[in-house]
Amino acid sequence: MATSFWKGLWRLADPKISLASIASMFLGSAIAGADGPLHWGWLAVTVAGILVIEVAKNAAGEIVDYDSGTDLKVAPGDRSPFSGGKRVMVEGLLTRQQTLAISAVSYLVGIGLGLWITLSREPAVLWLGLLGVAGAFFYHAPPLRLSYRGLGELAVALCYGPIICAGTYLVQRGTVAAPLLLLSVPLGLLVAAFLWINEFPDYPSDKSVGRRNLVVLLGRPAASHWFAVINGVAFILLLLLPAAGAPPSVYLAGVSALPAAFAVRRLWTEPENTQRVIAAQTASLTAFVLYALGAGVGYALG
């Protein structure tokens, strides 16, 4: 029983999916470190708070997706390491009560850490924290249910781009710099693209229960074309960043275009073949990680 609980908790933590928030925090802290000394203790509190909120969001999402039936209807052939839910309730690793308790405790811990930062370090972080927690909670939860109403992709772009990145920087520097916001927007788009491609294997189950995310609303063939547009816009913005004041060395982030191009090509040609899409999901994840690394290191060098 204990082994089952810890295995379920580890799935809810899901390190590979948490790379989205880690990438955003890395970019924010890299730019903050280039602009002045890092306060490592407060950075550790920031990282802990955001990762705990990730666990809370994932646990709450499991309950909502289980109740809606979408996780139960994912066919074995449509499962991938990046989609289909964490399946902690479907596979009996956690009970509903345990999953609810993990979500509630994690939200309380994450909010508590955020209030500690607000009261002891930087009061202005409260507003970004509220936006981030609201985005996490209402991504699945009623009454907004953003991921069920075609708004989840926008929420992800905002949270994993400007909000987490700016919040991390704000804790360190006490302000938000314009170059940081400019660099965070392409990252948010690439993370949203990763969410977008992860919705392809879940398309049949999501559609059957009325989960109207953008892939369901558009259909997989058209949505695969929009996936290319999202990635394209991200890299066009990267090209324009030096004209907006970022150092040219941020072009190091351009290395992320290689896995992004692979993901675009694979999804465009085979949007309904889950086993072939998995490689594109991996490439899309690699793209936003490489963007964060390249942009952060490039800014520091510049």
Express each pLDDT in 146-155 by its tens digit: 999 999 999 9
Q: Give the integer Cα–Cα distance in Å for 218 and 180.
A: 32
Q: Which two tokens stand for residue 160?
A: 């994993």
Q: How confident is the model at residue 162, as a pLDDT?
A: 96
* pLDDT surpasses 70 at 130: yes
Q: How confident is the model at residue 35, as a pLDDT?
A: 93
Give residue 252's region: left, alpha or beta (phi > 0; psi -120 to 50): alpha
Q: Mean per-residue pLDDT for 244-261? A: 96
Q: Which two tokens stand for residue 205?
A: 């189950």
Q: What rounded mean pLDDT belongs to the chain?
A: 95
pLDDT-derived band at 85, boundaries 50, 70, 90: confident
Q: Which pTM value belongs to this model?
A: 0.96
Q: Mean per-residue pLDDT for 159-163? A: 96
* pLDDT surpasses 70 at 1: no
Q: How confident is the model at residue 95, as a pLDDT?
A: 95
* pLDDT surpasses 70 at 272: yes
Q: How far is CA 212 from CA 134, 177, 202, 203, in A?
A: 20, 36, 11, 10
Q: What is the CATH number of domain 2-301?
A: 1.10.600
Q: Mean per-residue pLDDT for 20-40? A: 96
Q: Mean per-residue pLDDT for 172-198? A: 95
Q: Give the integer Cα–Cα distance in Å for 38 and 60.
A: 33
Q: How confident is the model at residue 179, as a pLDDT?
A: 87
* pLDDT surpasses 70 at 277: yes
Q: Mean per-residue pLDDT for 158-167? A: 97
Q: Mean per-residue pLDDT for 100-124? A: 97
What are the backbone angles phi and psi of residue 243, rounded to the nearest 5°?
-65, -20
pLDDT-derived band at 139, boundaries 50, 70, 90: very high
Q: Mean per-residue pLDDT for 227-242? A: 97
What are the backbone angles phi and psi of residue 187, rounded to the nearest 5°?
-60, -45
For the chain, the structural domain boundaries read: 2-301
Which of 146, 82, 127, 145 lies closest to 278, judged by CA? Answer: 82
Which of 135, 143, 140, 137 lies closest to 108, judged by CA? Answer: 137
Count of CA atoms in the C-beta half-sphere (13 A) of 83? 31
Report residue 231 CA to chain centroid gap: 15
Secondary structure percentages of the chain, helix, strand, coil, to 5: 80, 0, 20
